[in-house]
């Protein structure tokens, strides 16, 4: 069951900037139910495995949301082309939001409140504000509750039943959901990094052209250290999926291909902290 959520993401600058793009009208195409592994959302390197043609592995459920909140059902297994100023509609944004918040007393990170609304709404608004037209969101812990409470119009929701296995499974599930969409690159972001706004995301997207289509490997850097978001060209998806296990995400693959990565410094416009523990909740407003 999918519910289209139409409430604004929050009042933070990133979200406010993204609201207009988000409401510009999402166009939902229906796709068949995909199969993928399910992952827990964690932080570290993004994970997505796929090579632009066939999904990685696993069994997941994806749907394109449409209709009013609390009314209207989405089609199970849907995909949607979004809208907005994406520098390339062939770049799909992949938001990993499946984590159960083990160090937060079992509170799913997607549902943490930020400016009075679920944190997942803020993360989507940031991607919209940066110009992402197509957004796939991987859900896991309390997926049904997230669908009911969060307003995520125009997003393709991908459920990862095996989210507890770690972020790697969510990355694989997300990459697999892109099979057959025509996407040639995936920009991966994490739901629990509200300090990373649209400016950093836009910089990574802008580096895609020079880096080159399906071969691209681009990552935001903070003081020279690689962080999120990360962009993977489709030619890397299969290799990433094969090594994305547990909570490692794409870390091993990126380490092995370090010389191919284009680092884009974003330390002047974003703060890459994670919401992992009770102490980190002070970052939320």
Summarize pLDDT for 141-185 with one digit per residue, the tens.
999 999 999 999 999 999 999 999 999 999 999 999 999 999 999
DSSP string, 231-267: EEEGGGHHHHHHH--TT-BTHHHHHHTGGG-EEEE-T
Provide the CATH topology of domain 13-283.
Spore Coat Polysaccharide Biosynthesis Protein SpsA; Chain A (3.90.550)
**How far lies 233's CA from each of 73, 75, 136, 259, in Å?**
33, 28, 16, 15
Question: Averaged over 48-70, what is the pLDDT?
Answer: 37
Whether the CB-CB separation of 125 and 114 falls below 8 Å is answered with no
Here the tokens at position 36 are 């993928």
* CA nearest to 276, candidates 121, 30, 112: 112
Given phi > 0 = left and psi -120 to 50 = alpha, else beta, which region is 142? Answer: left
- At residue 47 the predicted structure's pLDDT band, cuts being 50, 70 and 90, is very low
Most confident of 99-103, 126-130, 244-248: 126-130
Say what the pLDDT of residue 212 is: 67
Res. 1: pLDDT tops 60: no
- The predicted model scores a pTM of 0.71
Say what the pLDDT of residue 211 is: 64
Question: Averaged over 2-21, what is the pLDDT?
Answer: 39
User: Helix or strand or coil: residue 144?
Assistant: helix
- At residue 229 the predicted structure's pLDDT band, cuts being 50, 70 and 90, is very high
Domain spans of the chain?
13-283
Res. 125: pLDDT tops 80: yes
Helix (H) or strand (E) holding 205: helix 198-206
Provide the CA 27 distance to its chain's centre, in angstroms: 18
Res. 88: pLDDT tops 50: yes
Res. 236: pLDDT tops 60: yes
């Amino acid at each position: 069951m999918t519910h289209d959520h139409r409430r604004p993401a929050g009042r933070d600058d990133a979200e406010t900037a993204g609201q207009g793009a988000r409401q510009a009208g999402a166009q939902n195409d229906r796709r068949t139910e995909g199969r993928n592994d399910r992952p827990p959302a964690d932080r570290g390197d993004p994970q997505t495995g796929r090579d632009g043609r066939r999904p990685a592995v696993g069994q997941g459920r994806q749907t394109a949301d449409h209709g009013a909140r609390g009314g209207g059902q989405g089609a199970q297994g849907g995909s949607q082309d979004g809208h907005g100023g994406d520098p390339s509609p062939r770049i799909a944004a992949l938001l990993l939001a499946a984590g159960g918040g083990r160090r937060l007393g079992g509170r799913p990170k997607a549902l943490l409140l930020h400016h009075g609304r679920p944190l997942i709404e803020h993360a989507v608004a940031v991607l919209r504000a940066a110009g992402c037209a197509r957004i796939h969101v991987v859900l896991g812990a309390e997926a049904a509750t997230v669908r009911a409470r969060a307003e995520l119009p125009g997003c393709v929701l991908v459920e990862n039943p095996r989210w507890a296995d770690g972020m790697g499974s969510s990355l694989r599930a997300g990459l697999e959901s892109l099979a057959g969409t025509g996407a040639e690159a995936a920009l991966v972001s994490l739901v629990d990094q509200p300090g990373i706004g649209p400016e950093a995301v836009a910089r990574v997207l802008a580096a895609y052209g020079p880096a080159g289509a399906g071969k691209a490997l681009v990552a935001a850097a903070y003081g020279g250290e690689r962080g999120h978001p990360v962009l993977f060209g489709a030619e890397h998806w299969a290799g990433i999926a094969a090594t994305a296990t547990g909570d490692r995400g794409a870390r091993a693959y990126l380490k092995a291909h370090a010389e191919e990565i284009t680092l884009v410094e974003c330390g002047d416009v974003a703060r890459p902290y994670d919401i992992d523990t009770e102490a980190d909740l002070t970052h939320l407003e």
